[in-house]
Amino acid sequence: MAKVLVLYYSTYGHVEQLANAVAEGARAAGATVDVKRVPETAPEDVARNSHFKLDQQAPIATVDELPGYDAIVIGAPTRYGRMPSQMAAFLDQTGGLWATGALQGKVGAAFTSTASQHGGQETTQFSIITNLLHFGMVVVGLPYSFAGLTTLDEIAGGSPYGASTIAGGKGERQPSAIDLDGARHQGEVVAKTAAKLFG
């Protein structure tokens, strides 16, 4: 049985919803799954005035616990086409893990949310995937076995690089059924890949 960590940062709750869907997919594939988040680094008054979602229930992750997982799926919204500083600050603390190769050979994956359809989903995923490759992890995307990647019926997130959603400029659009199904599918593929490597 694979042990999977879904590690995320969510400003308005969209990535949090995707994180829970990724976890559902991984659990359905037989994995043991923890959902954790990285700390908020924005000043509290800024976060409150900007209507950040501050009631997230997932516990805060620590860098030291990462080697205890067979797979780590990282989710974060896009900031100017890259991961936000909150996730970057967390990953910047992993130098010791990198130096010792503590994450080499483990499974890694990325998911994201953007305000607009072309707001940098793939570049944000690649900013996460770059870290995973530097750790020596085996990267899993969202394969075309998920039929939602080719839908023409509606605007939807998702790409071969990972699950995603489109939030709208004011966060008014919630993840669609296709977006959440894509996240579940990616979680399932991550869990099955980890089970093959570590089962």
Q: Tell me whether residue 13 is annotated as binding.
A: yes
Give the pLDDT of residue 167. 95
Predicted TM-score (pTM) of the model is: 0.97
Give the pLDDT of residue 100. 98
Give the pLDDT of residue 199. 77
Q: Tell me whether residue 12 is annotated as binding.
A: yes
Q: Tell me whether residue 141 is annotated as binding.
A: no
Q: Tell me whether residue 118 is annotated as binding.
A: no
Give the pLDDT of residue 33. 98
- Give average pLDDT by consecutive 10-residue segment, the chain, 199 residues: 96 96 98 97 92 92 98 97 97 98 98 95 97 98 97 94 95 96 98 95
Q: Where in the chain are the domains?
A: 3-198
Give the pLDDT of residue 1. 87
Q: Tell me whether residue 14 is annotated as binding.
A: yes
Q: Tell me whether residue 10 is annotated as binding.
A: yes
Q: Tell me whether residue 80 is annotated as binding.
A: yes
Give the pLDDT of residue 94. 98
Residue 11 neighbours by CB distance under 10 Å:
22
Q: Tell me whether residue 185 is annotated as binding.
A: no
Query: Distance between CA 42 and CA 10 in Å, rounded?
Result: 12
CB 71 within 8 A of CB 190: yes
Q: Tell me whether residue 15 is annotated as binding.
A: yes
For residue 166, list its beta bridge partners: 114
The full DSSP string for 62-126 is -GGGGGG-SEEEEEEE-BTTB--HHHHHHHTT-HHHHHHTTTTT-EEEEEEEESSTTSSHHHHHH
As a CATH number, domain 3-198 is: 3.40.50.360
Give the pLDDT of residue 146. 97
CB 85 within 8 A of CB 11: no
* CA-based nearest residue to 107, from 36, 8, 5, 19: 5
Give the pLDDT of residue 78. 96
The first and second tokens of residue 4, run together, are: 């999977």
